[in-house]
Structure 1
């Protein structure tokens, strides 16, 4: 019969080259060097600590500058709008309506832990004065999956109904307020995250979500990916007299955030089309 030895198995000593390779691989992970996994080495990032300070363009102005200037005068082929979040508090919707604002996007959620405490006043208040309104989600791709965040968004105000007054929920993709510009992800990793979000949102609502993003961030963090332009409407921030260069894949923008220093509410937008087209966009 074979003899079974007790005690630990005998292991061959590892070469110095093998040990050095292991050390370098570990160091690369810790340092977050290119070529490492998209996720942080010890799991997802902590939940956001100051979501009330994050809104469409909050990081665009910080990283790209805010040069308000004079926007071109409105035309018959554009519609004036605003976007708001908790940092705006209770919004004077009647004042905005009286000044010609006809649509609004309202921040609903961030990651899978935050809901805007002013959401009801802002989302319902804009609707009550006659505006077409929608909700948006501030993405944090390092805290949870795209599907998880899309589901959280839909469950907390980001849904859609075909009532002619509700815009499809939008995804805010911009510079990370908490660390690494691209959330510690490679371009392919970020694209995959967005695909996950968009697919889940469409499965839940039947609509393709618009994406809010700047051309500079898009180039840096997605490698100027072209694959969303034919499906997901573009909401572009560019503070000045034109929407400027668009991210790859889009031939035109749907919404242009042209300033962050408007009256009553800072963030002002233009829908790229006449009011009837805005209603058609709401209806899908």
Structure 2
């Protein structure tokens, strides 16, 4: 009789099973509005080098120009150069303050120049200058080599090349050379390797037709035509330059 018992038990279990509830179709969920992905903009260059164009006017100032309104000056010139350093350790007292201000303004191209001393090491001078060159200022760094009382020696040309190579290597910007015609002709006597650098030449006259270009250059980029100029933003005389 045991099989009858098991048979009845199996029938009872079958009928006691809970029938699954019918599944109610779910309404598709509404699509979630998503903001379309916008491609990230191309990164902009941190700075743009100033393009020298004929007729542009610029000034060069130093600590000797004690009272300068940079905001007013920037409205009246196309570029501003400032003396940054000299020799192995000198820093122009107004340079750091003015450089910071010009960078904050961002309204005019500006740059730095180094007054070179032939009795000091070229590499040390270059490293000293580089510390104060802002590659985002818009203007190339400048080597200022001027009259040195007939004390220029042939080996000084090699020293200048060391200085220029170091500055260009560290800043990735080719420097400009500032020098006078007669100094270049009679003392500096630059070789052809210097011709690749743009020339900034002082010659104080109102007639550019009278200005001579020293060898090996075949053109002048910046002409400093007066050291007694007047311009809004600078109290007193100031060097004024023109791109030619």
Q: TM-score over 0.5 for the alignment?
A: yes
* Residues 270/125 of structure 1: CA separation in 2 closer, same or farther (3 Å cut): farther
Q: In structure 1, how many angstroms separate the alpha carbons of the residues matched to 2:190 and 2:96?
A: 36
What's the offset of the Cα at 1:159? 4.1
Q: Counterpart of 1:61?
A: none
Aligned runs of 1:273-284 on 2, under 5 Å? Answer: none
Change (3 A) 1:251 1:195: same
Aligned 8 A contact 2:88 2:121 in 1: no
Give the number of equivalent residue pairs.
Answer: 184
- Decide which of 135, 140, 155 is 1:160's aligned counterpart: 135
The answer to whether 1:115 aligns with 2:91 is yes
- Deviation of 1:267 after TM superposition, in Å, equals 0.4
Q: Using a 3 Å threshold, how does the CA distance of structure 1 residues 226 and 247 change in structure 2: closer, same or farther?
A: farther
The question of 1:172 aligning with 2:144 is answered: yes
User: Is 1:196–2:162 an aligned residue pair?
Assistant: yes
* Aligned-residue offset at 1:220: 1.5
Q: 2:56 aligns with which of 79, 85, 90?
A: 79
Indicate if the aligned counterparts of 1:136 and 1:170 stay in contact, CA closer than 8 A: yes
**TM-score normalised per structure 1:** 0.60
Which string of whole-angstrom CA distances, capped at 9 and with x for unpartnered residues, describes residues 94-129 of structure 1?
A: 33233x212011000000120011013332334426
Aligned mates of 1:269, 1:124 — CA distance in 2: 23
Q: Distance in 2 between matches of 1:126 and 1:262?
A: 22
Separation in 2 of the partners of 1:198 and 1:224?
13
Look up the match of 1:247.
Answer: 214
Q: Which residue of 1 aligns with 2:38?
A: none
Show CA shifts across 1:34-79 (max 9, x none). Answer: xxxxxxxxxxxxxxxxxxxxxxxxxxxxxxxxxxxxxxxxxx8321
Q: Which residue in 2 is equivalent to 1:91? A: 68
The C-alpha deviation readout for 1:105-155, integer Å capped at 9, x for no partner, is 10000001200110133323344261100000000011x221111111001
The yes-or-no answer on 1:208 pairing with 2:174 is yes
Residue of structure 2 equivalent to 1:25: none
TM-score using structure 2 length: 0.70
CA gap of 1:77–1:202, structure 2 versus 1, over 3 A, is closer
Distance 2:106 2:158 in 1: 39
Alignment partner for residue 138 of structure 1, among 115, 126, 139?
A: 115
Preserved contact between residue 104 and residue 126 of structure 1 (Cα < 8 Å): no
Q: Which residue of 1 aligns with 2:5?
A: none
Equivalent residue, structure 2, for 1:271: 243
Q: Is the 8 A contact 2:152 2:188 kept in 1?
A: no
For 1:262, which of 210, 229, 233 is the aligned residue?
229
Structure 1 residue runs without a partner (length 5+): 1-75, 273-284
Give yes or no for contact 1:107–1:119 (8 Å, CA) kept in 2: yes
Once the 2 structures are TM-superposed, how far is the Cα of residue 251 of structure 1 from its aligned partner?
A: 1.4
Residues 97 and 202 (structure 1 numbering): CA distance in 2 closer, same or farther, change over 3 Å?
closer
